[in-house]
Amino acid sequence: MKAEVYSITYRISLTDAQQAKLDRKWPDGDPFISYEKIESLLEPLPVDDLDWSDHTGQFFYFTVRGDNIEDTVAEVIERLERKLGKT
């Protein structure tokens, strides 16, 4: 029997500008960039458990699943940088 890594949770440090973009709210208090927007941005990548908030510190958390974890992480970072700006 052999165990293999199938999923890993990552944490990306956010710059002040990136965090400010994620913290923006509409006048009614809803987030300008919702979890649904980020989920759709990352589709169809095998990524879930997205989290960012004032409770997590200035970090973006996500879990990558599957056999090609390194390439998926690189693609997640590239897509997030396009949306939020470079680190």
CA–CA gap between residue 73 and residue 35 (Å, rounded): 18
Residue 71 lies in a domain: yes
Closest CA to 75 of 51, 43, 50: 43
CATH of the domain at 37: 3.30.1370
Hey, which residues does 65 pair with through a beta bridge? Answer: 7
| pLDDT tens-digit profile, the chain (87 residues) | 999 889 999 999 999 999 999 999 999 999 999 999 999 999 999 999 999 976 778 999 999 999 999 999 999 999 999 999 986
Instruction: Report if pTM > 0.85.
Output: yes
Residue 26 lies in a domain: yes
Q: Which pair of structure tokens corresponds to residue 74? A: 């690189």
Residue 76 lies in a domain: yes
Structural domain containing residue 49: 7-84
Residue 1 lies in a domain: no
CA–CA gap between residue 56 and residue 75 (Å, rounded): 22
Residue 2 lies in a domain: no
Number of domains in the chain: 1
Longest dimension (CA), the chain: 56
Residue 66 lies in a domain: yes
